[in-house]
Amino acid sequence: MKDLKIPQHIAIVMDGNGRWAGKRHLPRIMGHRKGKETARQVTSACSELGVKFLTLFAFSRENWKRPKLEVNFLMKLLEHAIDSELEYLKREEIRVMTIGSSEGLSERLIRKIRRTTELTKDHKRINLVVALNYGGRQEIINSIRRLASGKSPEDIQQTIDALTPEVFDGYLDTAGIPDPDLVIRTSGEMRLSNFLLWQSSYSEWVVSPKFWPDFTREDLIDAVAEYSERNRRYGGLR
């Protein structure tokens, strides 16, 4: 543990909730409920390790295609978590942020998110970034719109001429958040699934075979240990 290289930012695709439930002959929503507990444990573990940013993929733009019952349950689960976890967020000094679009979310949920981000904005221990109604391609399109918004054609041209990856970073939902050093995906799937497309260009990936509800603190430490062994070259030489 002592020699672990701790990533500044870990991002996680919490996959396998449905299959976890299916294996136990339970409705899929039970997998999400258990997955929420795992999210809390992993947040605490990251905080203890000294990770400064943890991004959790809670709901993708594509997840609206799921049955209404499941979508509604996930939304309620998030709403409920915001209320029930507030004391925990305060005690553990966790700052909550969100990335993704508010389009399609209920007014109530939007209000609760705003309140939580405001109430936790001075917390310094760890930043918990919840990717909610998030899709990487849409984020890039929205960033281009932001870049052009309110500008004259000449100003747009000037902005585009001077554009660098570092400047573009500032238009993304993740402006101010460092790129993830490590991306973890559970349930053995090796797919990006439209997650942090721009930001994960040089991230190290670790895929765990476990379903998200079974993922433990020890599995997180194993993933960090694997990351520690990697030799990040960013396209250069060692």
The residue (of 19 and 210) whose beta carbon lies closer to ligand FPP is 19
Residue closest to 192 by CA, chosen among 132, 234, 134: 134
> DSSP state, 179?
P
CB 133 to ligand FPP: min, Å: 12
The residue (of 84 and 157) whose beta carbon lies closer to ligand FPP is 84
The residue (of 143 and 187) whose beta carbon lies closer to ligand FPP is 187
**Is residue 212 within 8 Å of 21, Cβ to Cβ?**
no
**Is residue 18 within 8 Å of 69, Cβ to Cβ?**
no
CB 199 to ligand FPP: min, Å: 18
The residue (of 74 and 224) whose beta carbon lies closer to ligand FPP is 74
Whole-number Å distance between alpha carbons of 38 and 213: 6
> DSSP state, 105?
S
Q: Where are the alpha helices (DSSP H) in the chain?
A: 17-23, 28-49, 68-84, 86-91, 107-119, 136-148, 153-161, 165-169, 217-229
**Residues assigned a catalytic role:** 15, 63
Please identify the residue of the shown chain whose CB is closest to the bound ligand FPP. Answer: 18
Whole-number Å distance between alpha carbons of 100 and 173: 7
Footprint on this chain of ligand FPP (rule: CB under 6 A): 14-19, 32, 35-36, 39, 56, 58, 63, 74, 77-78, 81, 130
CB 132 to ligand FPP: min, Å: 8
The residue (of 36 and 95) whose beta carbon lies closer to ligand FPP is 36
- Give the CA distances from residue 141 to residues 84, 132, 135, 145, 172, in Å, rounded to whole numbers and listed in that order: 34, 17, 10, 6, 9
Question: Reduced to 3 states, what is the DSSP secondary structure of residue 58?
Answer: strand
CB 62 to ligand FPP: min, Å: 9
CB 75 to ligand FPP: min, Å: 10
Q: Which residues neighbour 201 within 8 Å (Cβ) at sequence distance 6 or greater?
A: 179
